[in-house]
């Protein structure tokens, strides 16, 4: 059984470039979360999908960040005009359903470095 | 807004020593509580969780945690650590009723177990 996968695992972008980070959740998982983990800190919530609906995007730090999950499975986090402060590990997690007792399973993350 | 604090950023101890990691959260409502572990080079994995009932919960690999509601704490313990417990440990809180059941993480504690 495959877990959550993310690609690329590492991304180096020059300041001002756009990047797209992909998340493949566990098959059949309804809920999908994106978190940002800066160096030396814990993950911070960015956004949440239930199927294809983005129900919470309160954690997105600016309008340069955009996420989608058009068919309710794969999700893409896009960052436009990257800045140095965007350098972090971006984690994706999925859970079977949206209830509070459902465990979130995390992917390996994409480490983004903006130079 | 809820927050989670972990008291120690780094802990160094020898094999067979006992481990206790502190976690406090600020949120007045009902919460679910989690400890996640990240071994070197691996993704975040669930160590244990508390939803309701017995406030002393047991997780994998001999870990346990105690929920003390009056102290807003959920400390992690292991009576005798092994070298393989070297990892970073994250406490996380999920507030019941919040849309999407997002996790709020503490800053993490890096644990180094010397052989």
CA-based nearest distance B50→chain A, Å: 9
Over residues B98-109, the mean pLDDT reads 84
Please, what is the Cα angle at B6 between B29 and A109, to 5 degrees? 95
- pLDDT surpassing 90 at residue B106: yes
Residue B1 predicted with pLDDT over 80: no
Q: Taking the mean position of all CA atoms in its chain, how far away is CA A60?
A: 10
> How much of chain A exceeds pLDDT 70, in percent?
98
More confident residue, A98 or A38: A38
> What local confidence, expressed as pLDDT, does residue A4 receive?
97
Query: Cα–Cα distance between B81 and A45 in angstroms, integer?
Result: 31
User: Residue B16: is its pLDDT beyond 60?
Assistant: yes
Please name every residue paired with A77 in a beta bridge, in sequence order, or none if there are none: A21, A67
B4–chain A Cβ distance below 8 A for any pair:
yes
Per-residue pLDDT at B98: 60
Domains of chain B: 3-114 (2.60.40.10)
Interface contact B101, partner A, CB < 8 A: yes
pLDDT value of residue B97: 67
Q: Which of B4, B43, B106 faces A108 most closely, judged by CB atoms?
A: B43
pLDDT band at A98 (very low <50, low <70, confident <90, very high): confident
pLDDT 10s digits, A62-80: 999 999 999 999 999 999 9
Minimal Cβ distance to B43: which of A101, A103, A107: A107
pLDDT at site B99:
57
The mean pLDDT of B45-67, rounded to a whole number, is 94
Structure tokens that stand for B19 in this block: 């481990």
A4, A36, A42: best mutation site toward chain B, by most B Cβ within 10 Å?
Answer: A42
pLDDT tens sequence across B59-99: 999 999 999 999 999 999 999 999 999 999 999 998 876 65
State chain B's mean pLDDT as an integer.
92
Kindly state the tokens that stand for B78. 């292991």
- Give which of A32, A43, A53, A94 to mutate to test B binding, by max B Cβ within 10 Å: A43
State the nearest Cα–Cα gap between A34 and chain B, in angstroms. 10
DSSP state of A113: E
pLDDT the model gives residue A74: 98
Tokens of A100: 């509070």
Chain B positions touching A95 (Cβ under 8 A) are: 101
Mean pLDDT of A31-57: 94
Residues of A with CB under 8 A from a CB of B: 3-4, 31, 33, 35, 40-45, 48, 50, 55-56, 59, 91, 93, 95, 98-104, 106-109
Q: Is the pLDDT of residue A1 over 60?
A: no
Query: Do residues A23 and A92 touch, judged by C-beta distance below 8 A?
Result: yes
Mean pLDDT of chain A: 94
SS3 at position B73? strand
CATH class of A15-96: mainly beta
């Amino acid at each position: 059984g495959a877990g959550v996968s993310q690609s690329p695992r590492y991304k180096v972008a020059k300041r001002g470039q756009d990047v797209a980070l992909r998340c493949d959740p566990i098959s059949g998982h309804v809920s999908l979360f994106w978190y940002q983990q800066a160096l030396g800190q814990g993950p911070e919530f960015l956004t949440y999908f239930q199927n294809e609906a983005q129900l919470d995007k309160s954690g997105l730090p600016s309008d340069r960040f955009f996420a989608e999950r058009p068919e309710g499975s794969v999700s893409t986090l896009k960052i436009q005009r990257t800045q140095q402060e965007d350098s972090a590990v971006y984690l994706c997690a999925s859970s079977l359903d949206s209830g509070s007792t459902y465990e979130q399973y995390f992917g390996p993350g994409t480490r983004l470095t903006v130079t | 807004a809820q927050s989670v604090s972990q008291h120690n950023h780094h802990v160094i101890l020898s094999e067979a020593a006992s481990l206790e990691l502190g976690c406090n959260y600020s949120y007045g409502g009902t919460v679910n509580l989690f400890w996640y572990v990240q071994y070197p080079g691996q993704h975040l994995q669930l160590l244990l969780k508390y939803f309701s009932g017995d406030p002393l919960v047991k997780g994998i690999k001999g870990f346990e945690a105690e929920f003390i509601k009056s102290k807003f704490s959920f400390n992690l313990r292991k009576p005798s650590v092994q070298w393989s417990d070297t990892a970073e440990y994250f406490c996380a809180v999920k507030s019941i009723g919040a849309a999407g059941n997002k996790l709020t993480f503490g800053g993490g504690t890096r644990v180094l177990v010397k052989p």
